[in-house]
Amino acid sequence: MATVLRPKPSVDEARRLREFWDEHYEQLLHEYPDKYVAVQDGEVVSVNDDLALLVYDLRDRGLDASRDIDIQFVSERMARLLL
């Protein structure tokens, strides 16, 4: 999955993120197929077809994509790979 480079999350944070994506991937796939989805604290904060535009949107809203935001490319192809 495409992810913006950032410092490694703690083990607990990584587990929380994995649980979030495992639990919500199908719903997000239905809502945002073939899009980059940015999540902060379990909430979708931005969505875009273009990763650079998504990062610019986050920056314009005062959010730091390299720190507190998890970004994944949500696609049917990736869903099949996860299974």
43-48/35-40 β-pairing: antiparallel
Is residue 4 situated within a structural domain? Answer: no
Under DSSP, the state recorded for 10 is P
Of 80, 83, 74, the closest CA to residue 30 belongs to: 74
Q: Per-residue pLDDT for 17 more than 90?
A: no
Is residue 46 situated within a structural domain? Answer: yes
Contact (CB, 8 A) for 69 and 45 = yes
Phi/psi of residue 30, nearest 5 degrees: -65, -40
pLDDT band at 53 (very low <50, low <70, confident <90, very high): very high
Residues of the domain holding 40: 11-82
Is residue 36 situated within a structural domain? Answer: yes
Q: Per-residue pLDDT for 83 more than 50?
A: no
Is residue 2 situated within a structural domain? Answer: no
Is residue 5 situated within a structural domain? Answer: no
Tell me the average pLDDT across 12-24.
89
Tally Cβ neighbours within 10 Å of residue 69: 19
With 0.95 as the threshold, say if the pTM is over it.
Answer: no
Is residue 1 situated within a structural domain? Answer: no
Count of domains forming the chain:
1
Q: Per-residue pLDDT for 5 more than 90?
A: no
pLDDT tens-digit readout, 65-74: 888 899 999 9
Residue-averaged pLDDT of the chain: 86
Is residue 24 situated within a structural domain? Answer: yes
